[in-house]
Amino acid sequence: MIVCVSVVGHQNNPLYIQSFTDADDALKLHHIVHCSLDVIEERVNNPKKSGTTLNEAFLGLLYPTVNYKVYGYLTNTKVKFILVTTDLDVRDTDVRSFFRKFHAAYVDAVSNPFHVPGKKITSRTFAQTVSNIVGSYGLN
Amino acid sequence: MAPVGPRSGDAIFSSIDRVNAELFMLTYGAIVRQLLTDLEEVEEVNKQLDQMGYNIGIRLIDEFLAKSGVSRCVDFKETAEMIAKVGFKMFLGVTASVSSWEADGTCCSIILEDNPLVDFVELPDTCQGLYYCNVLSGVIRGALEMVSMKTEVTWTRDVLRGDDAYELQVKLLKQVAEEYPYKDDE
C-alpha cells in the first residue's frame, strides 16, 4: 500500500508531498522523506562498483525502516521522486512502472507556462493524475 | 496557368511546413506569462492578446486565401464554415464545428474540441479572469475585417475556466462596402 509520494527539487527543496493514508502523521512521513534524501546523496556521490551504470534513474530500495520501504528515482535534472510504501513484497517492475508514469505526470505539470520551476507544484491535474497512478499501482 | 481549385483543409495542412506542437504551446505560454508580468492587469492582458491576434489576422487572411484558393463566399454562413473547416485545420491542425445559428444568420458559434495552445496549461488562482486563447478571437476579427466584414468575436465557453469545450461566438456587425479613394466623376 503506497503511503506517500514526494517530489524534491535539485536543491533538496520539497516541491510536492502527498500522503495516501490518514492514519499516519504527516510529519513522520516528512521526516522519512527527508532522511531518504541523505541516502540518495550517498548513492549518487559514491556509485557502486558492481556494474550499475552512472546514468540509472531508478535508485531502487533506499532503506527499509520498521514499517516502511522507501524507493527513490532521480531525474536528469536532479529532481528526486520518493515513494514510501508499506508493502512487504514489492515487485521491482511495479515500482519502475510507477516511477515512469509519475515522471510523465511530472513533465506534464512542469510544462504548464504558469508553473515556476523551483516552486511547489500546485497543479490540480497533477494531483489527480498521481492519485490515479497510485490507485492503479499493483493492480496488474 | 489554370487557377487552383479550392482544396480541403486536410490537403493543405499536409502540404505546408509544420512546427512542433510543444514548442508552439510553450512559446505562446511564454508570451502570455510575459504579458502578465508586464501589464499585471488581467483585463489589459486580454485586450493586448486580442490586439496581437488582430495584427496576425490582418496578415494571415492573405496567406489563407492564397493557399486555400477558395472563391468568394456567398453569405456569412459559408464564411463561418470556411473558417472552421479550412482555416482552423490549416493553421492549427484541428477541425472546428459551427453551430447555434441565429435566425437572421449573422451570429454563430464555432466550437473547438481540442486546442493545441492549451495542452498542459492550468490557470493559477490569480489569473482567473484571463482568456488564455484570446489571440484566436483577434485573429478571426482581423481576418474578417480585411474581407470587409466587421465582426465581434467573444468566448462563450473555455475549458481553462471549467467548461467542456472552447466556444467562440462570432457576430457579424456589418458588411463594409468597398470604398474607393477616387470619386467616380473625376
User: For A67-84, how does the pLDDT look when each residue is reduced to its tens digit (9 = 90+)?
Assistant: 788 888 888 888 889 888
For residue B30, the chain A residue with the least C-alpha distance is A113
User: What pLDDT is attached to residue B80?
Assistant: 86
Amino acid of residue B134: N
Q: What is the ipTM of this complex?
A: 0.74
Could you tell me which residues of chain B have a Cβ less than 8 Å from any Cβ in chain A?
Answer: 22, 25-26, 28-30, 32-33, 119-124, 127
User: What pLDDT is attached to residue B1?
Assistant: 43
B29 contacts on A by Cβ (under 8 Å): 112-114
**Cell 478571426 belongs to which residue?**
B140
Confidence band, pLDDT 50/70/90 cuts, at residue B2: very low
DSSP letters for chain A: -EEEEEEE-TTS-EEEEEE--SSS-HHHHHHHHHHHHHHHHHHHHS--TTS--TT--EEEEEEE-SS-EEEEEE-TTS-EEEEEE--SS--HHHHHHHHHHHHHHHHHHHT-TTPPTTSPP--HHHHHHHHHHHHTTT--
CATH class of B9-175: alpha beta
Q: Is the pLDDT of residue B146 over 80?
A: yes
Confidence band, pLDDT 50/70/90 cuts, at residue B164: confident
Per-domain residue ranges for chain B? 9-175
Confidence band, pLDDT 50/70/90 cuts, at residue A4: confident
Residue A90 falls in which region: left (phi positive, over 0), alpha (psi -120 to 50) or beta? beta
Q: Is the pLDDT of residue B3 over 50?
A: no
Which is nearest to B29 in space by CA: A54, A116, A95?
A116
Average pLDDT over residues A20-42: 81
For residue B29, the chain A residue with the least C-alpha distance is A113
Q: Hey, are the CB atoms on A111 and B122 less than 8 Å from each other?
A: no
**Euclidean distance between CA atoms A67 and A65, whole angstroms:** 6
If you ran DSSP here, which 8-state letter would residue B157 be given?
E
By the 10 Å C-beta count (0-12 exposed, 13-18 middle, 19+ buried), B147 is classed as: middle
User: For B46-91, how does the pLDDT look when each residue is reduced to its tens digit (9 = 90+)?
Assistant: 999 999 999 999 999 998 888 888 888 888 888 888 888 888 888 8
User: What pLDDT is attached to residue A56?
Assistant: 73
Contact A61, A36 (CB under 8 A): no
If one compares B55 and A55, the residue with the highest pLDDT of the two is: B55
